[in-house]
Amino acid sequence: MCGIVGFTGFTNSIDDPSAVLGRMMDRIKHRGPDSEGKYVDGDVAMGFRRLSIIDLSDTGSQPIFNEDRTKVLTFNGEIYNYKELREELIKAGHSFYTKTDSEVLIHGYEEWGQDLLLRLRGMFAFVIYDKNTGELFGARDFFGIKPFYYAQMGSAFMWGSEIKSFLDHPDFKKELDTSVLETYLTFQYSPSAQTFFKGVFKLPAAHCFTYKNGELNVRRYWEIKFNADEGPDLEEWVNRISDTFQDSVEVHKFADVEVGSFLSSGVDSSYVAAVADVDKTFTVGFGEDEKYNEIGYAKEFSKYIGKENFSEVISPEEYWGNLEKIQYHMDEPLADPAAIALFFVCRLASRQVKAVLSGEGADEIFGGYNIYHNPADMASYFRIPRPIRRGVGRVAEKLPHKHGVNYLIRGSKDLDERFIGNAYIFSEKERKAILKIKTDAPDAMEITKPFYDRVRDQDQVTQMQYIDLHLWMTGDILLKADKMSMAHSLELRVPFLDSKVMELAQKIPARHRVTPENTKYAMRIAALRACPPQTANKKKLGFPVPIRVWLKEDKYYNIVKDRFTSPDAEKFFDSSALVALLDDHRAGRYDHSRKIWTVFTFLIWYDVYFRQEK
Domains and CATH numbers, the chain: 2-176+199-220 (3.60.20.10), 234-368+464-536 (3.40.50.620), 374-419 (no CATH)
DSSP string, 523-549: HHHHHTTTS-HHHHTPPP--S---HHH
Q: What is the mean pLDDT of residues 180-187?
A: 98
The helix (run of H) or strand (run of E) holding residue 409 is helix 403-411
Residue 366 φ/ψ, nearest 5 degrees: -100, 0
- What is the C-alpha to C-alpha distance for residues 23 and 17, in angstroms, rounded to an integer? 10
- Each residue of 450-470: pLDDT tens digit? 999 999 999 999 999 999 999
Using an 8 Å Cβ cutoff, are 154 and 137 in contact? no
CB-CB neighbours of 473 under 10 Å: 26
- What is the C-alpha to C-alpha distance for residues 1 and 56, in angstroms, rounded to an integer? 12
Catalytic residue selected from 2, 208, 346, 531: 2
Say what the pTM is. Answer: 0.94
Q: What is the mean pLDDT of residues 315-340?
A: 95
Would you place residue 482 in the very low, low, confident or very high pLDDT band (cuts 50, 70, 90)? very high
Q: What is the mean pLDDT of residues 61-85?
A: 94
H-type helices in 438-477, by residue range? 444-454, 460-467
For residue 34, what pLDDT is reported? 82
For residue 290, what pLDDT is reported? 53
Is 390 or 58 the better-scoring residue by pLDDT?
390
For residue 545, what pLDDT is reported? 76
Is 2 annotated in the active site? yes
Identify which of 17, 390, 272, 384 has the alpha carbon closest to the alpha carbon of residue 169: 17
- Each residue of 503-549: pLDDT tens digit? 999 999 999 999 988 999 999 999 999 988 777 666 655 546 789 99
- What is the C-alpha to C-alpha distance for residues 205 and 489, in angstroms, rounded to an integer? 23
For residue 536, what pLDDT is reported? 60
Identify which of 366, 220, 212, 305 has the alpha carbon closest to the alpha carbon of residue 529: 305
- Each residue of 564-585: pLDDT tens digit? 999 999 999 999 999 999 999 9
For residue 457, what pLDDT is reported? 95
